[in-house]
Amino acid sequence: MASKIAIIGDVNGKLAAVFEQKLATMQKKQNFAFAIIAGNLFAEPALSTDEDKAQLEQLLDGKIEVPLPTYFTVGTRSFPPAVLEKLRSNDGELCPNLSVLGRKASIKTTEGFKLVTIGGNYVDKSCDHIEQRPEDVDDYTATYDDKDLEEAENFKDCDILITSDWPADVRVGSKNQYEGRSPPGIRGLGQLVTKLKPRYHFSTSARFFEREPFFHIAEDPRPITRFVSVGSYGTVKSSGTGAEKWIAAYNFEPSAPPPPKLPEGTTATPFVRSAKRTLGDDSPRQNGFRFSNGGGNRYDDHGGHPFKSSRGRGGRRNRYQQHQEPQECYFCLGKPGVEQQQHMITSIGENAYTTIAKGPLPTHKTFASLGYPYHMLIIPLIHHPTISAFPDGDREATLHEMQRYRDALHSMISAKSAQGADGEAEFGAVTWEISRSGGVHLHWQFLPVPAAMCNDGRIEAAFDVEAENFHYPKFAKTPAEKAQVREGNFFRAIIWSESGGEKEILLPLDDGSFRFDLQFGRRVLAKLLGLENRAHWRDVVQSVEEEAADAQFYIKAFKEYDFAHVDNAPENVMKVEGGEAEDQEGMDENGEASMGRISMKTEDMKTEDMKTEEIKTEDMKTEDIKTEEIKTEEIKTEDMKTEE
């Protein structure tokens, strides 16, 4: 049975106003099962007025009535001596309807809600300059440390987690703004949230803040956590009009299973975990990769490569269908035309070639230990939209060589990111493609990603949740499912790491009920790596000189892995023409990635049978996701006005 609860921020000693005026009035309208004071109940000693002290005495004497069962937490301040004495002598009950939750506690309410609390100020014992907490701590001491957090993980799952501090990185991936400077976060709390997977995580701050819900890495249905930080009573909004939201109401059922569908706007967990990570680890290497959230914006993705714009004047996408003849394919090396893109080719084999990306998703600093983006394209020399469309004599050889390039890239990434005595690779990779009979020129995109993301399921989960957000079909993951999907059009992602092996997932594209976003793969990884500001290639275009330098860097780095011996290729392959590149916006008329027209001589290139089907390029529309899980009761603002 669902119950309505109230969450209250810092009361700061305004006991009569909160209990007898505000909460009593609200209780008549809302009928809360219980209330939780997540912040400091009592006034700060240095700022405590005579009125505050008098109200505290009245509360202890039972002269201030608490209108409903209410729990208060150990906040960031020590309790007044009289309060401590009463709590210790009265088994945690301060007065009728008002009981304390210990600084590290797990309780179950009469309604069946499991509550876990971590209260007080965090003490980092690893820092010598920080004053250590006393040894004689009890349930009411306003401090906690890493040991408390480790012990709290044993509480297992809970409905509600209340902490006096914010977890570090909780705002990562959130679009919701916090007015002013948000509270500093504690990294160990993020790990605790990951372990307990609470349905709600409440904390306090000067201003009210509610994050989008986030899902945890787990089997479907995935647990969802909502983080809410409630403001302080009596605080005026920064705009100067009205009171800051100091109380919030929620109506939900205890111990209910996760929702079958993710709520709209759900992001992945902002808390990165790996087997090697400790509670105090704050290394840039670990913190550099966060799954950041974004809306449903479509990007005119270039597939990691230059492309010709399909937009007409004024930026409008051409609404008429266009038919692309082979001479207009920007992946066909033998075509005459623009020559400014020669400098981007890095290796040419017998059946396939590789290029660097124009406007690569990562920067040179994203993968610090690699020192280079390594966002690459693997492209067959023969023009066909899918591997199944290749003639029998070319299909196997082309696929084999494309795979050789991918394997060589895997070997290079593993070797360059090997760490420690065991030489474990820090990075894995994701390769993705769109295989459609109505496509243009088949190509694979390759991108390094942290191996931890491959191994703990974050990458797969990212693709799953984005597909669900767009109402796409589910990914095929079993051999039988994938075999069936391969018979038609599909999007494919291959997730690989040296230690975790390879996993392939396929998204069927034959269902006519939706339009597939051609930028799906790049957008998912942009979110995953916290690079959403680089999701559009036009925003991160490099100069010709920078592109040429990147290509030369890659050629040298890849030399020992390049079976095609690109260092012996004709000199003009790497030659950079002087002057500025002309229009290099390479989205082809079908919305597919393209490389730009490249004038090069290649031997024995087959050009017959290169016609492709027309593709509609209207903007893809996705319907809003309608999900209902936990309804939040609105509390009228007149109930929360502060006293003059």
The domain that holds 195 is classified in CATH as 3.60.21.10
Q: How many Cβ atoms from other residues are within 10 Å of residue 594's Cβ?
A: 28
Instruction: Report yes or no on 615 lying in a domain.
Output: no
The pLDDT, as a whole number, for residue 608 is 40
Indicate whether 213 and 353 sit together in one domain.
no
- Percent of residues, the chain, with pLDDT higher than 70: 76
Indicate whether 256 and 374 sit together in one domain.
no
Residue 465, C-beta contacts closer than 8 angstroms, at least 6 positions apart: 215, 262, 266, 268
Choose among 64, 125, 124: nearest CA to 94: 64
CA–CA dist 167, 144 (Å, integer): 14
> Tokens 């594209």 correspond to what residue?
509
Q: Which of 63-72, 240-249, 364-373, 519-528 has the highest mean pLDDT?
A: 63-72
User: Is the Cβ–Cβ distance between 611 and 439 less than 8 Å?
Assistant: no
pLDDT category of residue 315 using cuts at 50, 70 and 90: very low
Q: What are the residues facing 73 on neighbouring strands? A: 101
Q: In residues, how long is the chain?
A: 644
The pLDDT, as a whole number, for residue 518 is 85
Residue 162: pLDDT above 60? Answer: yes
Indicate whether 424 and 283 sit together in one domain.
no
Residue 212: pLDDT above 80? Answer: yes
Choose among 642, 641, 564: nearest CA to 602: 564
Q: What are phi and psi of 236, to 5 degrees?
A: -90, 140
Instruction: Report yes or no on 169 lying in a domain.
Output: yes
Residue predicted with more confidence, 322 or 460:
460
The pLDDT, as a whole number, for residue 327 is 53
The pLDDT, as a whole number, for residue 410 is 96
CA–CA dist 607, 381 (Å, integer): 10
Mean pLDDT (the chain) is 79
Residue 529, C-beta contacts closer than 8 angstroms, at least 6 positions apart: 289, 290, 361, 362, 366, 449
pTM: 0.52
pLDDT mean over 599-614: 38
Indicate whether 566 and 636 sit together in one domain.
no
pLDDT category of residue 335 using cuts at 50, 70 and 90: low
**Roughly what angle, to the nearest 10 degrees, separates helices 520-528 and 458-469?**
130
Choice among 220-224, 372-376, 549-553 with the minimum mean pLDDT: 220-224
The pLDDT, as a whole number, for residue 287 is 33
Indicate whether 134 and 101 sit together in one domain.
yes
User: Is the Cβ–Cβ distance between 378 and 410 less than 8 Å?
Assistant: no
Instruction: Report yes or no on 127 lying in a domain.
Output: yes
Indicate whether 333 and 184 sit together in one domain.
no
Indicate whether 393 and 269 sit together in one domain.
no
Strands 224-230 and 200-204: parallel
pLDDT mean over 70-99: 96
CA 58, 61, 65, 69 torsion: positive or negative? positive
CA terminus-to-terminus distance, the chain:
40
Looking at 551, 573, 595, the residue that finishes a domain is 573
User: Is the Cβ–Cβ distance between 514 and 470 less than 8 Å?
Assistant: yes
The pLDDT, as a whole number, for residue 201 is 98
pLDDT category of residue 135 using cuts at 50, 70 and 90: low
CA–CA dist 306, 430 (Å, integer): 20
Residue 330: pLDDT above 80? Answer: no
Looking at 573, 605, 621, the residue that finishes a domain is 573
User: Is the Cβ–Cβ distance between 222 and 262 less than 8 Å?
Assistant: yes
pLDDT mean over 525-548: 86
CA–CA dist 185, 195 (Å, integer): 17
User: Is the Cβ–Cβ distance between 88 and 140 less than 8 Å?
Assistant: yes
Instruction: Report yes or no on 62 lying in a domain.
Output: yes
Domain that holds residue 120: 3-290+629-640
Indicate whether 186 and 129 sit together in one domain.
yes
Choice among 346-350, 392-396, 465-469, 574-578 with the minimum mean pLDDT: 574-578
User: Is the Cβ–Cβ distance between 111 and 33 less than 8 Å?
Assistant: yes
The pLDDT, as a whole number, for residue 195 is 94
The pLDDT, as a whole number, for residue 313 is 31
How many domains are contained in the chain? Answer: 2
Choice among 18-27, 131-140, 243-252 with the minimum mean pLDDT: 131-140
Residue 415, C-beta contacts closer than 8 angstroms, at least 6 positions apart: 425
pLDDT category of residue 173 using cuts at 50, 70 and 90: confident
Indicate whether 278 and 317 sit together in one domain.
no
Looking at 573, 596, 614, the residue that finishes a domain is 573
- Percent of residues, the chain, with pLDDT higher than 90: 52
Choice among 241-245, 510-514, 605-609 with the minimum mean pLDDT: 605-609
Residue 300: pLDDT above 70? Answer: no
The pLDDT, as a whole number, for residue 157 is 85
Indicate whether 275 and 357 sit together in one domain.
no
CA–CA dist 42, 514 (Å, integer): 56
Residue predicted with more confidence, 129 or 143:
143
Instruction: Report yes or no on 195 lying in a domain.
Output: yes
> Tokens 């191994």 correspond to what residue?
455
Instruction: Report yes or no on 624 lying in a domain.
Output: no
Indicate whether 180 and 327 sit together in one domain.
no
Instruction: Report yes or no on 594 lying in a domain.
Output: no
Choose among 559, 505, 581: nearest CA to 339: 581
Q: Exposed, middle or buried: residue 162 (CB in 10 Å: 0-12, 13-18, 19+)?
A: buried
Residue 274: pLDDT above 50? Answer: no
CA–CA dist 396, 402 (Å, integer): 10
Choose among 427, 561, 578, 441: nearest CA to 498: 427
Which tens digit of pLDDT belongs to each residue from 377-392? Answer: 999 998 999 999 998 8
Residue 211: pLDDT above 50? Answer: yes
For the chain, counts of helices (H) and of strands (E):
13, 27
What residue type is 361 in one-letter code?
A: L
Instruction: Report yes or no on 578 lying in a domain.
Output: no
Indicate whether 258 and 318 sit together in one domain.
no
CA–CA dist 458, 242 (Å, integer): 41
CA–CA dist 29, 36 (Å, integer): 18
